[in-house]
């Protein structure tokens, strides 16, 4: 457990170069790339149930055309083949649902998507070097709570990203506020989007590993994971658009392969971010343990 009052942005007293060296070593020792491959496999099976659960959440938001706009945003972020596979599958899942089974389907989707979070929890235990001591039902409860919490923050970030100006205009009209409020809202909504995404990642980093952990605010690992994920998503899209054609090479399964590659890279940056925080925590604990000895001397 990290000592109270320790700021993770001090890097536990390590220089950025030393931290990078230790993280690189731990990536090899913890077999991060292999674990990311396993994690992406679980993510693939949890992805569409999670999207079904998110679709149910979106139905409670009073914004017309929200799902269509978010799918359009996914097309802008993901490579075209992967985005079309995602959109086609989600449309088929939603179209075959029956009214009487919606609630049961959402609960089943929540349970299935939490399986991916259980895999994340197991991997985070390895990254942080802790042994699992929680009972089965407690682990499942934490996985479901993390799935819901992560989904809420990510949906909030996506809604603000896509409909931020529209929401600002609606609030301004409701309360009779002028153009100055709308301009201020548009400027503030971007930091709010970033904060929502970071909080979602930080929830996983703080609650997924076993053991008592303190909320430390936004950490360097979470910031790295978000920035690296955005960069990798954009880079993969540019690579597919200009340098290769997965559909020509792999035919109809090209979209599935691209989706798996994107999930794998997402898993890698998520685990590397956790390795960064784990190394900062370890360095902070070692520094705190040496402090009494230095004081006594």
Q: What is the mean pLDDT of residues 100-123?
A: 73
What pLDDT sits at residue 200?
A: 87
pLDDT per residue as tens digits for the range 247-290 = 666 666 666 777 788 889 989 999 999 999 999 988 888 887 77
pLDDT per residue as tens digits for the range 22-68 = 999 999 998 899 989 888 888 777 776 666 666 665 655 555 665 66
**What does each C-alpha distance from 223 to 19, 81, 246 come to in angstroms?**
15, 28, 31
**Which region among 23-37, 79-93, 117-131, 132-146 has the lowest average model confidence (pLDDT)?**
79-93
CB atoms within 10 A of CB 283: 19
Residues ≥6 apart with Cβ < 8 Å to 146: 114, 117, 120, 121, 203, 204, 207, 208
Q: What is the mean pLDDT of residues 149-174?
A: 70
Residue bearing the bigger pLDDT, 16 or 97: 16
What pLDDT sits at residue 17?
A: 93
Query: What is the chain's mean pLDDT, rounded?
Result: 76
Give helix 80-95 / helix 220-242 axis angle, nearest 10°.
100
Distance CA 242, CA 234 (A): 12
Distance CA 40, CA 35 (A): 9
What pLDDT sits at residue 132?
A: 87
């Amino acid at each position: 457990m990290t000592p109270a009052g320790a700021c993770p942005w001090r890097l536990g007293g390590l220089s950025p170069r030393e931290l990078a060296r230790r993280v690189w070593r731990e990536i090899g020792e913890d077999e991060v790339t292999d674990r990311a491959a396993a994690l992406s496999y679980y993510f693939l099976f949890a992805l569409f149930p999670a999207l079904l659960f998110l679709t149910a959440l979106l139905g409670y938001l009073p914004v017309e055309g929200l799902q269509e706009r978010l799918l359009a945003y996914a097309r802008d972020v993901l490579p075209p083949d992967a985005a079309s596979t995602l959109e086609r599958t989600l449309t088929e899942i939603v179209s075959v649902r029956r009214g009487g089974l919606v609630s049961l389907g959402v609960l089943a989707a929540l349970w299935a998507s939490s399986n991916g979070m259980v895999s994340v929890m197991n991997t985070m235990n390895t990254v942080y070097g802790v042994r699992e001591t929680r009972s089965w039902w407690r682990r499942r409860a934490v996985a479901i709570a993390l799935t819901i919490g992560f989904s809420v923050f990510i949906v909030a970030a996506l809604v603000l990203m896509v409909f931020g100006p529209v929401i600002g205009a609606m609030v301004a009209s409701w309360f009779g506020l002028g153009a100055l409020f709308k301009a201020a809202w548009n400027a503030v909504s971007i930091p709010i989007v970033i904060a929502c995404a970071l909080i979602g990642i930080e929830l996983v980093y703080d609650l997924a590993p076993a053991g008592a952990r303190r909320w430390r605010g936004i950490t360097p690992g979470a910031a790295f994971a978000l920035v690296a994920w955005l960069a990798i998503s954009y880079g993969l899209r540019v690579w597919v658009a200009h340098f290769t054609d997965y559909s020509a090479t792999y035919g109809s399964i090209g979209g599935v392969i691209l989706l798996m590659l994107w999930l794998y890279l997402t898993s890698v940056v998520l685990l590397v971010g956790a390795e960064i925080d784990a190394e900062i925590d370890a360095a902070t604990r070692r520094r705190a343990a040496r402090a009494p000895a230095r004081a006594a001397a």
